[in-house]
Amino acid sequence: MVRKIWSLSFIAFVLVLTSFLPVQSVSANPLSDIPDRSSEEINYLIQRGVIVGFPDGTLKPKDPVTRQEAATLVGRALELNGEKRSTIFPDVPKASYASGYIQSAYDQKIITGYPDGTYQPQNHITRGEMAYLISKAFSLTSTSGTQYSDIPTEGALTTAIDKVSTAGIANGYPDGTYQPGKSITREEFSLLIARGLNPKFKVGGTDTTPDQPIGEKYVSTSILNVRTGPGVSYEKVGKLSLGTKVTIYKEVGDWCQISYNGTRAYVHGAYLLDKLKEKRVIAIDAGHGGYDGGASANSVLEKEVNLAVSKKVRDLLEKSGVEVIMTRNDDTYISLDGRVKHAVDNGADTFVSIHSNAFPNNESVSGIETFYSSAALNDRAYKSYKLASFIHDRLVEAMEMKSRGVKDVPYRVIHATPLPSALVELGFLTNSSDASKLGSTYWQDKASKAIYLGVIDYYNWIDK
Ligand SMILES: [Zn+2]
């Protein structure tokens, strides 16, 4: 998609911008007044949608940056949530184009207000304020004792200025001053953002020590995209799989900078966990099999429905990283105790048996019922009840069938076992409506998805 960003005004563009931008290419008209000395950095930001020109096609590089513009630029660079909303500051109403970015930057502790609680969005941002903002936005930690003649020898401002100087993002004037009260131009601010985002633009920094990792985490999703920068508009350079350990060097907004194939790259922090989740192993038990066909009515045979649904459940669980032990994969007879033993011997932590129901003398009986057995030691009974309930609720909703309830009945496969266990009855083959659903691929898919979601609900509950 080509966005004609040049034809939109700064404010109009922000109004249509909600949370983040898709990858975009840039139209042929460069802004007319980009200074040569900073064109590489400014074009880098333009390509990422961080900088937008004025309607007349200019950048106005010498204009000062207001505090609301600063929050917006940083918010776009870090792909914070820019959706307009109420803010903590009385002088930044929801209707303000910058309200979303100002609140997001405040939430991330990147910006603060004045002692009287206001933000003063129209004030020009000063070089001192900018040092705070940039050091927070890019999580700068290294200091080197950088001193300027017009800055106190210690204090929060001194530390912030030391950090941006040490990182090679900002520096002082040739006369040895920093001039913290001076406002900053659009060109200068752009350079700072570009240097924060991409180390290749850094200048004159004294930070020669290799940066230290701040921690290690684990990938919590089946596929996690790795990108060149802290946002979805940056190029994908690879993927990480569930459980991969990553070393983190810094956090930029919601993103984490990690080491990847000998270089640095970014992943979204929402998909990282402090510790690896326990590997989940579930036994899926397709009821009956072989000479034991189970129930049979309305041309539907129970053992076939059970196996078809069980295999679909297996595929869904395996995709989300759960290991599945099948008690049977084909039309074989296995004893009830043999099913439990197979699950336990293969390290299953949970057992789900899948059946279809029958009520030969009354074809009006219909609906879903799910069983657990409370007659057991330890916490297995309550876990079994929760497992049965999560699956039952998902099934009733997905199958559009009557709920016959979650019931405590000591069926052998869910009773004589150390595992939290549930037995599902998908519906009544003796009821023509239930039977036609259970015989169709469409409804078998729905049942499988529901059982899968119920199992995930259960595991999420266990993990809490
Ligand atoms: Zn059965």
CA distance linking residue 110 with residue 160, whole number of Å: 12
Q: Tell me what the mean pLDDT of segment 320-341 comes to.
A: 95
Which pLDDT belongs to residue 22? 34
> Do the domain assignments include residue 437?
yes
Q: For the residues 105-131, what does the mean pLDDT come to?
A: 92
Kindly give the distance from the C-alpha atom of residue 287 to the centroid of ligand 1, in angstroms, as a whole number. 5
CATH number at 253 reads 2.30.30.40
Residues 221 and 100 in one domain: no
> What does the DSSP 8-state code read for residue 183?
B
Is 319 inside any structural domain?
yes
Residue 445 lies in a domain: yes
pLDDT at 96 over 90: yes
Last residue of a domain, one of 146, 173, 201: 201
How many angstroms does the Cα of residue 310 sit away from the middle of ligand 1?
13
Q: Is 28 helix (H, G, I), strand (E, B) or coil?
A: coil
CA-CA distance, 94 to 74, in Å (whole number)? Answer: 19
Within-domain flag for 210? no
In-domain check, residue 374 = yes
Count of the separate structural domains present in the chain: 3
| Of 165, 72, 53, nearest in space to 125 by CA | 72
Q: Is residue 453 part of a domain?
A: yes
Structural domain boundaries, residue 381: 281-463
Residue 389 Cα to ligand 1 middle (Å): 19
Widest CA span in the chain:
99
pLDDT, averaged across the chain: 86
Q: Distance, CA 294 to ligand 1 centroid (Å)? A: 5
- Give the Å distance between the CA of 336 and the centre of ligand 1: 11
With residues binned 3-state (H G I as helix, E B as strand, rest as coil), the percentages for the chain, rounded to 5, are 35, 20, 45
Residue 64 CA to chain centroid, in angstroms? 36
Angle CA(49)–CA(165)–CA(193) in degrees, nearest 5? Answer: 5
Q: Is residue 209 part of a domain?
A: no
In-domain check, residue 19: yes
**What is the predicted pLDDT for the residue at 222?**
80
Are 174 and 195 members of one domain? yes
320 and 410 housed in the same domain: yes
Q: How far is the CA of 319 from the centre of ligand 1 (A)?
A: 27
The residue from 172, 201, 230 where one domain ends is 201
Q: For the ranges 193-207, 216-230, 246-260, 288-302, which has the lowest average pLDDT? A: 193-207
Q: What is the pLDDT of residues 421-431, one digit of tens each?
A: 999 999 999 99
Mean pLDDT of the region 35-48: 87
99 and 224 both lie in a single domain: no
Q: Which residue type occupies 175?
A: D
Residues 46 and 172 in one domain: yes
Provide the pLDDT for residue 377.
Answer: 54
Q: In this structure, are 164 and 70 located in the same domain? A: yes
Q: What is the pLDDT of residue 21?
A: 34
**Using 50, 70 and 90 to split pLDDT, how confident is the model at 392?**
very high
Residue 305 CA, ligand 1 centroid: distance in Å: 10
Q: Which of 153-157, 417-421, 443-447 has the lowest mean pLDDT?
A: 153-157
Torsion of CA 86, 87, 93, 94, to 10 degrees: -30
Phi, psi of 369 (to 5 degrees): -135, 145
For residue 355, what are the contacts with CB-CB under 8 A and spacing of at least 6?
287, 288, 294, 302, 306, 423, 424, 425, 426
How many other C-beta atoms are found inside a 10 Å radius of the C-beta of residue 101?
30
The pLDDT assigned to 17 comes to 33
Residues 191 and 236 in one domain: no
User: Are both 223 and 196 inside the same structural domain?
Assistant: no
207 pLDDT band, cuts 50/70/90, is low
CATH of the domain at 343: 3.40.630.40
The first and second tokens of residue 140, run together, are 């700068």
- pLDDT, residue 275, reads 73
In terms of domains, do 158 and 301 share one? Answer: no
Q: Are strands 245-252 and 236-241 parallel, antiparallel or unpaired?
A: unpaired
Pair (287, 182) in one structural domain? no
| Domain match, 269 and 285 both | no
12 lies in the same domain as 153: yes
**Is 77 buried (19+), middle (13-18) or exposed (0-12) by CB count in 10 A?**
buried
**What's the 322 CA to ligand 1 centre distance in angstroms?**
25
Domain finish residue from 273, 292, 321: 273
pLDDT for the residue 295: 94
* CA 333 to ligand 1 centroid distance, Å: 13
pLDDT(411) > 80: yes
Q: Rounded to whole angstroms, how far apart are CA atoms 133 and 442? A: 55
| 73-to-39, 49, 95, 263, 288 alpha-carbon distances in Å | 17, 9, 18, 26, 63
Residue 153 has pLDDT above 90, yes or no: no
Q: Which of 74, 60, 80, 79 is nearest to 10 (CA)?
A: 60
pLDDT of 4: 34
Minimal CA–CA distance to 260: which of 214, 228, 230, 232? 228
Residues with Cβ within 8 Å of residue 214, at least 6 apart in sequence? 248, 249, 250, 251
Task: Please give the distance, rounded to the nearest whole angstrom, from the Cα atom of residue 318 to the centre of ligand 1.
Answer: 24
The tally of CA atoms less than 13 A away on the side-chain side of residue 189 is: 32
163: Cα within 13 Å, side-chain hemisphere? 22
